[in-house]
Amino acid sequence: MESNLIDLQYPIGRPVLPEGPLTAAQRAGYINQLAALPATLTAAARAAGGVRLENSYRPGGWTGRQVVHHVADVHLNFYLRFRLALTEEHPTIRPFDMNAWAALPDNDATPITVSLALLEALHSRWVTLLWHLTDAQWRRTFFHPLYQQTYTLDQALVQYAWHGQHHLAHLHLLRPVE
């Protein structure tokens, strides 16, 4: 049973971060995933349907509604981490309690269409920024105090593209069985 819960929690597996720089083609693939995420997340939410979005994709997991709001919340933070790393020397980013954010009252009171629109606008800005970075900028870093780890922007790109696909897979688990 525990293995099945892990499969539901991580339906696409855990992220594997590169040890060295990405190639231009690899970066393009991840940037394209981020560019496509708002539309694919919207389609997945529609496919799940309104009532199913109130259900959890696994026992003890968030509802589909919480997942959609979470992706918008977290990707806003991810975008800001990129901007901090590009404008400050090795900044320490600020972690936050994702479960506490998911439990805030605006998650129940706000239609998911608001977070999907936020995600669309946010990704438009973020992807534009990413396409214009130089190789030297991709090597810039930030420090994550929760994990006690330094990340390059290449590694962050991989992690954040994975994050979108990870939660997209959660919404796919809510679809009706055909």
Place of tokens 């990707």: 75
Give the count of domains, the chain: 1
2 in a domain, yes or no?
no
Please check whether residue 102 is in contact with residue 68, taking contact to mean a CB–CB distance below 8 angstroms. no
Residues in the chain, overall count = 178
4 in a domain, yes or no?
no
Q: The domain containing residue 77 runs over which residues? A: 24-172
Token couple for 155? 């590694």
Q: Which helix (H) or strand (E) holds 31?
A: helix 24-48
166 in a domain, yes or no?
yes
156 in a domain, yes or no?
yes
Is 68's pLDDT higher than 60?
yes
Please check whether residue 165 is in contact with residue 38, taking contact to mean a CB–CB distance below 8 angstroms. no
13 in a domain, yes or no?
no
3 in a domain, yes or no?
no
51 in a domain, yes or no?
yes
Token couple for 90? 């090795």
11 in a domain, yes or no?
no
Q: What are phi and psi of 174, to 5 degrees?
A: -90, -10
Amino acid letter, residue 175? R
Q: Average pLDDT over the chain, rounded to whole?
A: 94
pLDDT digits (tens, 9 = 90+) for 37-66: 999 999 999 999 889 999 999 998 899 999
Average pLDDT for residues 122-126, to the nearest whole number? 98
Task: Say which CATH number the domain at 105 has.
Answer: 1.20.120.450
The answer for residues whose C-beta is within 8 angstroms of residue 86's C-beta and 6 or more apart is 133, 137, 140, 153
